[in-house]
A = this chain, B = another copy of it.
Amino acid sequence: MKKLPVAVLGATGIVGQHLVSLLENHPWFEIAALCASPANAGRRYAEAVQGRWRPPRPLPSSAARQTLRECTPPLDAGIVFSALDSSVAGPIEESFARSGCLVCSNAANHRMRRDVPLVVPEVNREHLSLLEKQGYGGGGIVTNPNCSTIGVALAIAPLHQKFGARKVVITTLQAISGAGYPGLPALDIIDNVIPHIRREEEKIETETLKILGLPEIGADIAVSAQCNRVPVSTGHLLNIAVELEARAAVEDVAREFEEFNPLGDLGLPSAPARPLLLLRDPDRPQPARDRDNGGGMAVSIGRLRQDRVLDFRFVALVNNLIRGAAGAALLNAELACLGARKSM
């Protein structure tokens, strides 16, 4: 089957680089265009990321040779991945949607729009149907959540589906790569913690509800988040306490985590074998050791136990660059293409 041409907007940033890396040898997609700011347009991709390439695998040679283009339609691509900064992403993404592309966006701009699906494929793939209401003609915008929220949503979803979640208290310990590049000054975070990330708590509290299909106001679930930045390169650790509607034992919760696999038979190339890994070691998950579980697409869970205040506490780790950003947008694109591919 012929590969679908795709484009990456914001290809020189950290998330854009990870998209380029994940798209190397992708079975369904191939990169037709890499786009960046006007300042970088016209340069070779290899030159633009010279000395700044972050993904663990080397810069793919095919991408290295590409000449960067401006973020303006039309591009010869049916799917456009947006790793743009939210300061510019809004109108650019709309212009590509209007030009007929499916925009798979990692930016926050359109996430909370009523007609824009905010999708975690394992949780709410039916929300993709919102695309039909967007009025962009053949194009559309689908978004993935904030890099912390996606970990919360994946961990809470099976519990909510089975037992009904009522209250969720989250404390995050987030990696510095979540702030992009250059991001945090080293002087601010060496031997330090910063107990605040701008607008992050609000995103977790509102995006989680939308993903779970709940109204922001009047939802049965209350979500509270406190975010901290810690001196860790990659991997957001989420400390979660949850109160459930139905009674459940620890083993019941463990089973829901372990058996959660709603994409099991769909064959999406970027879906991990299991989206949730329940670790039994008493001191896991840890960012340095578990961030690459499932190729960075699995959320690792540990320290599950009953709680004295709410019902259960546990810790979840999400790779903020893969499952929390580049891999999330890619999985959304794969999901959106599934129907089209089956009919071919």
Binding site for B on A (CB under 8 A): 14, 50-51, 54, 56, 167-169, 171, 173, 176-177, 181-196, 205, 222-224, 226, 228, 230-233, 237, 239, 241, 281-289, 292, 302-303, 307-310, 313, 315
Interchain CB contact under 8 A, B185 and A184: yes
In angstroms, how far is the closest chain B Cβ from the Cβ of A10?
Answer: 17
In angstroms, how far is the closest chain B Cβ from the Cβ of A22?
Answer: 18
Given A171-B239, A224-B313, A281-B50, A287 contacting B182 (CB threshold 8 A): no
Partner of A51, one of B54, B231, B283: B283
Residues of B within 8 A of A188 (CB): 182, 186
Interchain CB contact under 8 A, B286 and A191: no
Residues of B within 8 A of A195 (CB): 237, 239, 283-286, 302-303, 315
Per assembly, the copies of the chain total 4
| Separation of A184 and B307 alpha carbons in the complex (Å) | 27
Interchain CB contact under 8 A, A303 and B193: no
Given A51-B281, A313-B224, A193 contacting B176 (CB threshold 8 A): no
In angstroms, how far is the closest chain B Cβ from the Cβ of A304?
Answer: 11
| Separation of A16 and B222 alpha carbons in the complex (Å) | 46
Residues of B within 8 A of A233 (CB): 187, 190-191
Interchain CB contact under 8 A, A193 and B287: yes
Interchain CB contact under 8 A, A228 and B237: yes
Interchain CB contact under 8 A, B194 and A190: no
- What would 20 A/B residue contacts be, using CB atoms closer than 8 Å? A56-B292, A169-B169, A169-B241, A171-B239, A173-B193, A181-B187, A186-B186, A186-B189, A187-B233, A190-B191, A190-B231, A192-B287, A193-B232, A195-B303, A222-B308, A224-B308, A224-B313, A226-B239, A226-B303, A231-B232
